[in-house]
A and B are shown apart, each in its own frame.
Chain A
Amino acid sequence: MMQVKNQVKLEFSSIPENITLARVVVAAMLAGMDFTLPDLDDVKVAVSEAVSNAILHGYQNRPTGFVYLVFTVSPEGLEIVIEDYGRGIADIEKAMEPAFSTLPDRMGLGFVFMKSFMDLVEVDSQLGRGTRVRMFKYAFQTMQAVQ
Chain B
Amino acid sequence: MRIMYCNPGIVEIGVFDGVLVVRLQGELDLGVSEGLRVRIDKELDRQRTKNLVFNFRDVKFIDSSGLGLVLGRYKKLAAQGGGVALTGTNSTIDRILELSGLFKIMRGYAGESEAIRALNGGGR
Contact = CB atoms under 8 A, between A and B. Distances in A.
Interface of A: 16-17, 19-20, 23, 38, 41, 44-45, 48-49, 52, 55-56, 105-107, 109-110, 112-113, 116
Contact of B72 (A23, A41, A44, A105): A105
What range describes how many residues of B lie at the interface?
Answer: 10 to 19
Interface string B59-103: 001011101100110000000000000000000100010011000
Given A48-B29, A110-B64, A113-B96, 16 more contacts: A16-B30, A20-B27, A20-B29, A23-B61, A38-B92, A44-B61, A45-B96, A52-B63, A56-B30, A106-B64, A106-B65, A107-B64, A107-B67, A107-B68, A109-B64, A113-B99
B99 A19 contact: no
B67 A109 contact: yes
A19 B34 CA distance: 14
B31 interface: yes
Interface of B: 27, 29-31, 61, 63-65, 67-68, 71-72, 92, 96, 99-100
A44 B71 CA distance: 21
Contacts of B99: 112-113, 116
Q: Is the interface of A mostly helix, strand, loop or mixed?
A: helix
12 contacts: A19-B30, A41-B61, A45-B63, A48-B29, A48-B63, A49-B63, A52-B64, A55-B30, A105-B68, A112-B99, A113-B99, A116-B99
A109 B97 CA distance: 11
A106 B29 contact: no
Contacts of B61: 23, 41, 44-45, 48
Contacts of B71: 107
Contacts of A38: 92
Contacts of B96: 45, 113
A56 B61 CA distance: 19
